[in-house]
Structure 1
Amino acid sequence: MAIPPKELDYHYSPSRWSHRMGSDEVIEAHINTVTQASREATWLLNCDGEISYGSGPLQKLDIFTAKNAQIKGVPIFVFIHGGYWHMMGRAKSSFLAPPLAKAGSTVVIVGYDLAPAVTMDKIVSEIKQAIRFVLKLAKERQSSGVYLCGHSAGAHLAAVMLACEFSDDDAFDSEIIKGAFLVSGVYDLRPLVQTTVNEPLKMTENDAWRLSPFSFVGEIAAQSRQRDILFAVAEYDSPEFRRQSAEMEKELRSRGVKTRFIDVPDTDHFDVIEKLKKEDYSLTKEMIRLMHLSK
C-alpha cells in the first residue's frame, strides 16, 4: 500500500526510528562516535590522505593500511559515506578502517561534493571517477579484488557503481570488483522527491527514477554474475529502508546474482554502521570473510 505523501518524511527519516534515543540525540551521538573513531584510525594506521581524484573541492580520498602491512596482492575495501548526499564527509568516515586494515585489506575512504553545491548526477559522476582511481590503484598493486561498501545514501551510490562498465580501456577492468556490502541503503529514489530530503537535491520524478538502482537492476545483475553482494539492514531501520533493501536483494537474487540478506539485531540506522569499528562485530567478520582474509 502506497504511503501518503504527507507521511513520507516520517518514513524516510532514519533518526525517528531509533530504539536507543530521540531523533536529534541519535544524530548527535552518531556524529560524535564516527568523528572520534575516525580520528583514532589516523593514529592507528598508515594513512595516505587527501588524495585528489577530481577537481571538486571534496573530491578526495584517503588510503589506509596497517603499519608495516603488505600492499601488493591484497583486497581493496572502498567505503562511500551516507548523509543523504548533503551531509557527513570523508573525515568522519574512516572509523571502520582499523579492523579491516588489521585483517589485511587496504581501505579507501571516498569523499565527494555534496548537495546543494552539486546535483545528484554530478555526485554519481564523481563516485565513478573515484572508482576509476581505485581500479587503477588495484591494477598497480595487483590487488586480489575491489570491494565496494556504502551506508544509506552511500549504499545507493555503491549500487549504481555495480552497473558501470569500467573496462573501456586497458587501464580498467570491471571484473576486479569482486563484491559489495550495501548497508541500510535506498535504491528507489522516487519516494524522496516529495520529502525534505529533496530540498538540496531538487530531483524531478524522472531524475529520481533514472538514478535509482531499481530502474537498472538488470544491468547491475549482468555486471555482477561473479560478485558477492551483501545487503544488511538494522532491526530498527525504518520499514521503508528495510523494504527497499529486501526487494533489491530479491530482485538481484532472482537474476542469478549471489546475494545475502542480513538483518542485524538490536541496531538502528546509525550504529549498524558505527559498529564496524569493532573487530568482533558480526558485519565486520562477514566483510573480512568475503574478502577471503579470515584465518
Structure 2
Amino acid sequence: MNINPDMDTLYSPSKWCRRFNGDGATKYFSDFIQRVSNNVRTKIPCQLNLSYGAEYHEKIDIFGFDLPKDAPIFVFVHGGYWQESSKDESCYMAQMFYQNGIKTIIIGFNLCPHVTVEGQVKEVTQGVKKSLELAEEWGAKKVVIAGHSSGAHVVACLLERLNQYTESQRKLIVGLLLVAGIYDIVPIVDTYANDLLFLTKDTARQISPMYKDIERNDIKIYVLVAEFESPAFIEQSEKYYEKLKKLNFKVELIKYKDHDHFTIMEDLVHDTYDMSKLIFSLLKN
C-alpha cells in the first residue's frame, strides 16, 4: 500500500494538537479514558456485556441502572479509526450523566480487520436498535446518540439505516451528535490507517455519508468540531453540515474553541462543559 505523507499528516489528529509533541495527545487520551472508565465501573450501578448479537464483541454496557426506569439515555459509539479502543474504556462520561439523572449506554462492536468498516456499521446499527428497544421497555422518552471520530462516521451512517427501527423507536431519538468526525473516508485509503482497513477508493466511497442520498427526517443533528483540529477534519465537518443543510435537515455546526480532537471528548466528564449542556438541553428539557 502506498501512503501519501501529506494525506497521512492531514488525517493524523494527534499531529494537530497543541498540548503535546508527536503522539503524546493520543497516549494521554488513551490513558485518561482508561483510568476514568475503570473508576466509573466501580462507582455506578451498571449492567455490563448485554448481548445484542452473536459475535463476542456485540455487547452493550448500561450505566445508571438504578435511576428511574424512564430516565433519558445517552448512547455512545467510540472512535479509534475503526480499529482501536473498545467500550470498556469508553464510559468515562457516564458518572457525570449519572449525577444528572441520565443513563448511559456504551456500544461495543468488532474492530477492523476482524470486520470491514461496513460490517462495523451494521453491528452498531443493531447495537443502537437494542438500545432503543430497552428505552421503549423502560418507558424512556428521549435518547441522544453520539459518536466520536470514526464513531461519528458510524453514527452518521445511521441516517440511511433508520428504516431498520420502528417509528416509535425513531421518535425517541432527539439528537445525533457527530463529534470530530470524517464523512468522506476516501482519503483514508492513502494513510497509515488503511493498513488494517483494506479499503479501496470504491469501497470507501460506498461507506461514506458524504456521498449518500439521505431521506430527510426530524432528528436534530449536531456536527461538532474542535478549533485545534486537522484542517481536513474541519473541512469535512463544514462540508457535511452544508450537505445536510441543503437537504433541509435540522442541523447545527458547532466549533469548540481551545479544544482539540481529544479534549473535545475529555471534557465531557464535566457538567459545566458546553457539550454537556447541549446534551442536557436535548434530554432534560
TM-score by length of 1: 0.91
State the percentage of identical aligned residues.
31
Q: Tell me, yes or no, if the aligned pair for 1:228 and 1:290 is still in contact at 8 Å.
A: no
Q: Distance in 2 between matches of 1:272 and 1:33?
A: 13
Q: Distance in 2 between matches of 1:267 and 1:168?
A: 35
* 1:176 CA drift (Å): 2.4
Which of 243, 249, 253 lines up with 1:257 in the alignment? 249
Please tell me whether residue 205 in structure 1 is matched to residue 201 in structure 2.
yes
* 1:157 CA drift (Å): 0.5
Written as runs of structure 1 = structure 2, the 5 A alignment for 1:1-295 is 5-65=4-64, 68-72=66-70, 74-166=71-163, 173-216=169-212, 218-219=213-214, 221-222=215-216, 225-291=217-283, 293=284
Q: Which runs of 5+ in 2 are unaligned?
A: none
* Secondary structure, aligned partner of 2:109: coil
Q: Deviations over 1:151-179 (max 9, x none)?
A: 00000001101221345668x63232221
Q: Distance in 2 between matches of 1:113 and 1:177?
A: 24
* Secondary structure, aligned partner of 1:23: coil
Q: Distance in 2 between matches of 1:132 and 1:169?
A: 9
Q: Distance in 2 between matches of 1:85 and 1:49?
A: 22
Q: Which runs of 5+ in 1 are unaligned?
A: none
* Secondary structure, aligned partner of 2:162: coil
* 1:107 CA drift (Å): 0.8
* Secondary structure, aligned partner of 1:162: helix
Q: Tell me, yes or no, if the aligned pair for 1:151 and 1:185 is still in contact at 8 Å.
A: yes
Q: Distance in 2 between matches of 1:78 and 1:284?
A: 13
Q: Deviations over 1:72-120 (max 9, x none)?
A: 2x32211000000000111110001112222222210011101111111
Q: Deviations over 1:5-48 (max 9, x none)?
A: 44100000000000000122111111111011111211332111
Q: Tell me, yes or no, if the aligned pair for 2:47 and 2:63 is still in contact at 8 Å.
A: yes
Q: Tell me, yes or no, if the aligned pair for 2:46 and 2:64 is still in contact at 8 Å.
A: yes
Q: Distance in 2 between matches of 1:169 and 1:233?
A: 31
Q: Tell me, yes or no, if the aligned pair for 2:223 and 2:254 is still in contact at 8 Å.
A: yes
Q: Tell me, yes or no, if the aligned pair for 2:144 and 2:279 is still in contact at 8 Å.
A: no
